[in-house]
Chain A
Amino acid sequence: MQKLVLLGDEAIAQGAIDGGLSGIYAYPGTPSTEITEYVLNSKQARELNIHSEWTANEKTAMEAALGMSYAGKRSMTCMKHVGLNVAADPFMNSAMTGVNGGMLIVAADDPSMHSSQNEQDSRVYGNFALLPVLEPANQQECYDMAYEGLRLSEQFGIPVLIRLTTRLAHSRAVVCRRELIHQRSLSLPQSQNQFILLPAYARNRYKKLLALQPEMTKHAESSKYNEYIDGLDKSLGIVACGIAYNYLLENFENLQCPYPIVKIGQYPLPDELLTRLAQACSTLLVLEDGYPVVEDKLKGYYPQTIIVKGRLDGTLPRDGELNPDVVAVALGNQVRPGIKKPDLVANRPPELCSGCGHRDMFDALNEAMAEFIGNRAFSDIGCYTLGALAPYNSICSCVDMGASITMAKGAADAGLSPSVAVIGDSTFTHSGLTGLLDCVNSQSPVTIIISDNETTGMTGGQDSAAFQKLESMCAGIGVEPEHLHVVIPLKKNHEEMVSLFKQEFAYQGVSVIIARRECIQTLSRRKKAGKAE
Chain B
Amino acid sequence: MKTDIILAGVGGQGILSIAAIIGVAAMDSNLQVKQAEVHGMSQRGGAVQSHMRISDSTIASDLIPLGKADLILSVEPMESLRYLPWLGPEGWLVTNSVPFVNIPDYPALDSIHDEIRHLPRHILIDADAMARDLKSARSSNIIMLGAASPFLNIPYQCLENGIKKIFGKKGEKVVESNISALAAGRQFAEQNK
Contacts and interface: CB of A to CB of B under 8 A. Distances in A.
Contacts of A353: 44-45
A272 interface: no
Given A5-B33, A344-B112, A246 B60 contact: yes
B191 interface: no
B155 interface: no
Contact of A351 (B32, B45, B81): B45
Interface string A342-375: 1011111111110000000000000000000000
B47 interface: yes
A7 interface: yes
Contact of B85 (A341, A346, A349): A341
Nearest to A333: B65
Contacts of A7: 37
A493 B41 CA distance: 29
Given A335-B67, A339-B85, A350 B45 contact: yes
A34 to B, nearest CB: 7
Interface string B21-57: 0010001000011111111111111110000000000
A157 interface: no
With a 10 A CB-CB cut-off, give which of A247, A250, A345, A348 has the most chain B CB atoms: A348
Given A344-B107, A350-B43, A171 B102 contact: no
B162 interface: no
A142 B66 CA distance: 27
Interface in A453-490: 458-460
Interface in A87-118: 114-115
Contact of A255 (B38, B40, B60, B106): B60
A339 B44 contact: no
B86 to A, nearest CB: 6
Given A5-B23, A250-B60, A346-B105, A174 B45 contact: no
Contacts of A346: 78, 103, 105-107
Interface stretch (B87-95, B133-141, B143-151, B175-183): B87-95
Contacts of A340: 84-85
Interface of B: 10-11, 23, 27, 32-47, 58-67, 69, 78-79, 81-89, 91, 102-108, 111-112, 115, 119
Which 6 pairs between the two chains have the least Cβ-Cβ distance?
Answer: A115-B40, A30-B40, A350-B46, A250-B61, A338-B87, A350-B44
